[in-house]
Amino acid sequence: MFDVNRIREDFPILKEQVHGKPLVYLDNGATTQRPARVVERMSEYYLRYNANVHRGVHYLSNLCTDANERARERARDFIRAASVEEVIFTSGATGGINLVAFSFGEAFVREGDEILVTGMEHHSNIVPWQMLCERKGATLKVLPVLDNGELDMEALSHLLTGRTQLVAVAHVSNVLGTINPVRRVIDAAHAAGACVLVDGAQAVQHLPVDMQELDCDFYVFSAHKMYGPTGVGVLYGRRELLLQMPPWQGGGEMIKEVRFEKTTYNDLPFKFEAGTPDFIGIIGLGEAIDYLSSIGMENVAAHEEALTRHARERLSAIPGLRFHGSSPHASSVISFTLDGVHPLDAATLLDQLGIAIRAGQMCAAPLMQRCGVTAMIRASLAMYNTFQEIDALHDGLLRVVAMLREKR
Ligand code: C6P
């Protein structure tokens, strides 16, 4: 049984006050809060067991190495990857995309080739591809977004050509909330001979994901958006591709043998993990995965779906409020603008009421342009949010509108 009040007990920060008001935290798309057990697990390792991984022969080093590799197995199981060789620890979603843009780019992208991104990508899933295209003389193409916030799937078949090497697509938009039909994108791309990177930064905390079912070539996500620590993430890569790709960074752990004449590289996944990893963060990620799994992704999804329906219903009654993105296939990310109210003013006033939301471009400037706005207000909900918090947002927005109207 999913009990939101029981879950809230696990997150001490949710009892905090901001400006003398109970915290209403609705900025989970930027980063979620962490349950105490994740922080406790990490501090236990820092305070009692800390030693570098994959290097020592001593007790503590082995202990941390085992914990690091157990976390890899948990991550593998969480995304249903075939093998731990396909699970590479990174600094986050951005780190994973840059790794692929460099390494896949070195192996497979030539002058005149094409990379296809979509019009709703986060800057992290645009700029690394632009940089690759500049390096290689390749072309960046863009799959358009329809007015309802869905991808223009009809345009996909025209945009995929024999020169398309890779398609980069968000599983869930960090602005519109749209859950993209990634399986259809992957099938179309594969039929055209292209690989696919799915940006799961806004997906893994909301939906069950399965690499076997998706059949993508790469999948990235960040721990800090799924109740884990900052500074850690996962890149899933298809083994056959990873084997053909050169290392991204050089250093310890990614090598087998180093000679001045020639260095040989380590096996997967270590070939892509140069230097001391954030192993305590990785252990924290393993704990976050255990926590999420104990609740059940289906339960998380059901609660968030009910919350989102309630939020859309209540907010739609606010005069002058316009949602951006109206796909029925959407997650708990809700973006909107208020007629005559600047999003940053709204965010500042809501903050005074203890309500944390995000306002601005959401690191998706091309999408803002597509929507014809310079900024939006975004409420992004997590499994610990309540119906009362949604009502608090609704009431807060009414006050924002009233105050800013009085001023004019
Ligand atoms: N979006 C948001 O408020 P990092 O910074 O590497 O953990 O995640 C980058 C990233 C990549 N893709 C998507 C779809 C994302 O939403 C994000 C992060 C946050 O929307 C911070 S800008």
pLDDT at 405 over 80: no
For residue 107, what pLDDT band results from cuts at 50, 70 and 90? very high
Predicted local distance difference test score (pLDDT) of residue 316 = 98
Q: Which residues pair with 358 in a beta bridge?
A: 378
Cβ-based neighbours of 254, under 8 Å, separated by 6 or more: 247, 265, 266, 270, 271, 272, 273, 274
Ligand 1 atom having least distance to the Cα of 230? 7
What is the C-alpha separation between 225 and 205, in angstroms, rounded?
7
Q: Which of 363, 367, 378 to mutate to test the pocket of ligand 1 (most atoms within 8 A of CB)?
A: 363
For residue 407, what pLDDT band results from cuts at 50, 70 and 90? low
Q: Is 91 in the pocket of ligand 1 (CB under 6 A)?
A: no
What is the C-alpha separation between 89 and 299, in angstroms, rounded?
27
Question: 211 vs 167, 204, 237, 339, CA distance in Å?
Answer: 16, 12, 10, 42
Q: Which of 25, 32, 94, 122 to mutate to test the pocket of ligand 1 (most atoms within 8 A of CB)?
A: 122
pLDDT at 190 over 70: yes
Instruction: Name the percent of the chain lying above pLDDT 90.
Output: 98
The average confidence (pLDDT) of the chain is 97
Q: Is 29 in the pocket of ligand 1 (CB under 6 A)?
A: yes
pLDDT in tens, 66-98: 999 999 999 999 999 999 999 999 999 999 999
| Ligand 1 midpoint to CA 26 (Å) | 15
Q: Residue of the nearest CA to atom 21 in ligand 1?
A: 30
The pair of structure tokens assigned to 9 is 């007990």
What is the C-alpha separation between 130 and 141, in angstroms, rounded?
10
What would the mean pLDDT of 329-354 be, rounded to a whole number? 97
Predicted local distance difference test score (pLDDT) of residue 55 = 82
What would the mean pLDDT of 19-35 be, rounded to a whole number? 98
Alpha-helix residue ranges (DSSP H) falling in 316-386: 343-352, 365-371
Q: What is the greatest pairwise CA distance in the chain?
A: 75
| Ligand 1 midpoint to CA 128 (Å) | 14
What is the C-alpha separation between 117 and 189, in angstroms, rounded?
12
Q: Is 228 in the pocket of ligand 1 (CB under 6 A)?
A: no
Residue corresponding to tokens 């040989």: 264
pLDDT at 56 over 90: no
pLDDT at 153 over 80: yes
> How many CB atoms are closer than 10 A to CB 20?
8
pLDDT in tens, 246-276: 999 999 999 999 999 999 999 999 999 999 9
Q: Is 124 in the pocket of ligand 1 (CB under 6 A)?
A: yes
pLDDT at 232 over 60: yes
Q: Is 175 in the pocket of ligand 1 (CB under 6 A)?
A: no
| Burial class, 45, CB count within 10 angstroms (exposed 0-12 / middle 13-18 / buried 19+) | buried
- DSSP secondary structure, 176-217, as one string: T-BB--HHHHHHHHHHTT-EEEEE-TTTTTTS---HHHH--S
**For residue 218, which of 103, 139, 70 has the smallest C-alpha distance?**
103
H or E element, residue 41: helix 36-44
| Ligand 1 midpoint to CA 382 (Å) | 15
What is the C-alpha separation between 92 and 94, in angstroms, rounded?
5
What is the C-alpha separation between 231 and 54, in angstroms, rounded?
20
Quickly name the fold that domain 4-27+296-407 has.
Aspartate Aminotransferase, domain 1 (3.90.1150)
Predicted local distance difference test score (pLDDT) of residue 33 = 98
Alpha-helix residue ranges (DSSP H) falling in 202-296: 211-214, 239-244, 279-295
Predicted local distance difference test score (pLDDT) of residue 175 = 98
The pair of structure tokens assigned to 206 is 């909301």
**For residue 277, which of 73, 44, 52 has the smallest C-alpha distance?**
52
The reply to whether 216 belongs to the active site is no
Q: Which of 32, 118, 121, 202 to mutate to test the pocket of ligand 1 (most atoms within 8 A of CB)?
A: 202
CATH number of 39-293: 3.40.640.10
Whether 113 contacts 86, CB under 8 Å: no
Q: Residue of the nearest CA to atom 17 in ligand 1?
A: 201
Alpha-helix residue ranges (DSSP H) falling in 56-194: 59-79, 93-108, 127-136, 153-159, 182-191
Q: How many helices (H) and strands (E) does the chain have?
A: 14, 17
H or E element, residue 306: helix 297-315
Strand 164-170 and strand 263-265: pairing? unpaired
The residue extents of the domains of the chain are: 4-27+296-407, 39-293
pLDDT in tens, 288-339: 999 999 999 999 999 999 999 999 999 999 999 999 999 999 999 999 999 9
Whether 301 contacts 207, CB under 8 Å: yes
What is the C-alpha separation between 281 and 228, in angstroms, rounded?
8
For residue 404, what pLDDT band results from cuts at 50, 70 and 90? confident
pLDDT at 408 over 80: no
Q: Residue of the nearest CA to atom 3 in ligand 1?
A: 30
pLDDT at 1 over 90: no
| Ligand 1 midpoint to CA 61 (Å) | 33
Peptide bond just before 269 cis, omega within 30 deg = yes
What would the mean pLDDT of 53-60 be, rounded to a whole number? 91
**For residue 232, which of 93, 98, 127, 103 has the smallest C-alpha distance?**
93
